[in-house]
Amino acid sequence: MANKVLTIVVPCYDEQEVLHETSKLLKNIIDDLIEQNKISSNSKILFVNDGSKDKTWEIIEQLQSQEKVFTGIRLSRNFGHQNAVMAGLSRAVWYSDMMITIDADLQDDIQKIYEMVDKFYQGFDIVYGVRNNRDTDTGFKRTTAEAYYWLMTKMGVNLIPDHADYRLMSKRAVEALLEYHEENLFLRGIVPELGFNTTKVYYKRKERFAGESHYPLKKMLGLAIDGITSFTIAPIKLILYLGILMVLYGGGAIVLLGVTHHMSDYRSLINSLWLLGGIQLITLSIIGTYVGKVFNDVKKRPRFIIEDDTYSDRMKKIR
């Protein structure tokens, strides 16, 4: 078993406040797994600097100069969390047998890495880290998350409820994932589409160790919209059904007015115009979102640009 290389991919954006603690705890786990003869001594912790504006990259450089287990790649600018994860996996897959993605904020239970590695040796290609409670969330966030998973399921999207981006993937699973080239990445929806032999490990999510969350409500809403519009055309169908209902309602109202000879006042007319105008704007926005995704995809622009790749340099020397 000791010849299997594990790379832990950690996307980082302005994580200077947590990086020292995160690196120390992850190194302890890597060292322990090597000692248990479960992974190769060539296993690495790969930090992906996603255009941080603070001292994140300086800390990564310092860490990798002190310990060979630490490596890093630096993106030329901020490309977003999902693209940073893909950037790390695109490099790690060259040299690794298994890869774990985890955020730097220490909210995910890193002790579950032991169980994930064990599941890999049991024959599982994908091991999902799944929250078993939402006690650390606000009531609003908990309610909206539950509603979102329910909505996605009703729309036919195959999601793992309460799973974010904490997972283990085998080499062949990551190679399959890299075959997906869409511009608007939603890994939580793509990974379940891969198939392969999968399982779950459950954990209690913790409070952020330090600093502030980089996923405010605006970004969460954007990710939710990306998830819906990337995997289903249900909103387009909803527009069709809404249009049919409006035609039936309008036709019925005309017949009713003809029968009763009742003329509505101008206020009813204005309210109807506001209602119709609002519905039209919403439907145009939904259609525009889909058109915009097509526009971005057909340009075939790179999802990320790597400016500095210490990880590959080090792994080449090993190989």
Residue-wise pLDDT for 85-96, tens only, equals: 999 999 999 889
For residues 85 and 89, what is the distance between their CA atoms, to the nearest angstrom?
A: 6
pLDDT at 232 over 80: no
Would you state the structure tokens that stand for residue 243, as one six-digit string? 């249009």
pLDDT of 129: 93
For residues 66 and 69, what is the distance between their CA atoms, to the nearest angstrom?
A: 9
Alpha-helical regions (H) of the chain? 19-35, 56-66, 81-92, 112-121, 139-154, 171-177, 187-190, 217-231, 234-260, 266-298, 310-318
Q: How far is CA 199 from the centre of its chain?
A: 18
- Looking at per-residue confidence, does 112 or 148 come out higher? 112
pLDDT of 188: 81
- Looking at per-residue confidence, does 238 or 20 come out higher? 20
| Widest pairwise Cα distance in the chain | 88
pLDDT at 242 over 90: no
pLDDT at 187 over 80: yes
Bridge pairing between strands 126-131 and 198-203: parallel
- Looking at per-residue confidence, does 312 or 275 come out higher? 312
Q: Which of 161, 50, 143, 150 has the alpha carbon at shortest distance from 104?
A: 50
pLDDT of 263: 52
pLDDT class of 45 with cuts at 50, 70, 90: very high
pLDDT of 26: 95
pLDDT of 293: 67
pLDDT of 216: 56
For residues 182 and 229, what is the distance between their CA atoms, to the nearest angstrom?
A: 12
φ and ψ at 114, to 5 degrees?
-60, -45
pLDDT at 307 over 90: no
- Looking at per-residue confidence, does 310 or 81 come out higher? 81
For residues 231 and 248, what is the distance between their CA atoms, to the nearest angstrom?
A: 30
Would you state the structure tokens that stand for residue 70, as one six-digit string? 């630490």
In this structure, the dihedral spanned by the alpha carbons of residues 205, 30, 94 and 195, taken in order and rounded to 10 degrees, is -40
pLDDT at 252 over 90: no
Burial 35-46 (b: 16+ CB within 10 A, else e): eeebbbebbbbb
pLDDT of 177: 93
pLDDT of 244: 66
pLDDT class of 140 with cuts at 50, 70, 90: low
